[in-house]
Amino acid sequence: MPDGTYRDRRAAGRISGLPEQARNVAVEFGRDTLAGTLSVPAGALGLVIFAHGTGSGRHSPRNRAVAAELNGATLSTLLLDLLTSEEEARDRRSAGFRFDIGLLTERLRAAIDWAAGQPETAPLPIGLFGASTGGAAALAAAAAMSPAVRAVVLRGGRPDLAGEALAGVRAPTLMIVGGEDRAVLELNREACAAMTAECRLDVIAGATHLFEEPGALERVSRLAGDWFTRHLRP
């Protein structure tokens, strides 16, 4: 497992869509560097690390909106690009990296190690928020790094891609799926039923995969905030 080291890159002023304390960071491991945005509100109860999927990254407006709501609930957040800039360019052409769950899981584990080594995040219990294929990586990382990971939330996740790791998850897991995202909803139902850890499936009626409908993303944020607050509270 590569060791993550920290290099702080302070943002020039407020990062759009996130609180003033948000700043850019870099997680370095081996020869690679992952770009991230870290926000640590005063009195933080825990740290939520985001695992993006399907060609998305730390600039995703949906995950930034969720992160801002979590910050308001006194939760720290780390929005992370799980691919390097070169890999992202290749992924836009081939869509190959976004389905490499082993690679995404390794990067997420490096981020968890990094957070454990930083003075402001080391004391905080960790939760993982995974979207799309990032949901599989979040589950696989939670299985590999139990009990370091205390809670998992998936938004339109693909838990089926976690494979055998699904049975090893010990962290309480919340799966949030749009009611109109029928294929993904069925995959989440099957995965939740197969898990031995606490698992809850919340279906947002009328929502599609990207939760673009009015009020849908706000509902995701509230559900995620309640779940993480409950399970990350010391």
How many residues in the chain?
Answer: 234
Q: What is the DSSP letter of 123?
A: T
CA distances from 19 to 44, 68, 136 (A): 14, 7, 28
Count of domains observed in the chain: 1
Looking at this protein, which amino acid is placed at residue 212?
A: E
Over residues 120-138, mean pLDDT? 95
Q: For the whole model, what pTM was predicted?
A: 0.88
The residues, ordered by sequence, that sit 6+ positions from 34 with a Cβ below 8 Å of its Cβ are 26, 27, 28, 80, 81, 82, 84, 107, 110, 111
Which candidate, 105, 148, 145, 106, places its Cα nearest to that of 124?
148
- Domain hosting residue 197, numbered range: 5-232
**pLDDT for residue 224 is more than 60:** yes
Tokens 């957070």 belong to which residue?
A: 115
The residues, ordered by sequence, that sit 6+ positions from 131 with a Cβ below 8 Å of its Cβ are 50, 51, 52, 53, 54, 56, 60, 62, 63, 154, 155, 156, 157
pLDDT digits (tens, 9 = 90+) for 165-217: 999 999 999 999 999 999 999 999 999 999 999 999 999 999 999 999 999 99
Q: Identify whether the C-beta of residue 222 lies closer than 8 Å to the C-beta of residue 196.
A: no
Question: Which domain CATH number covers 193?
Answer: 3.40.50.1820
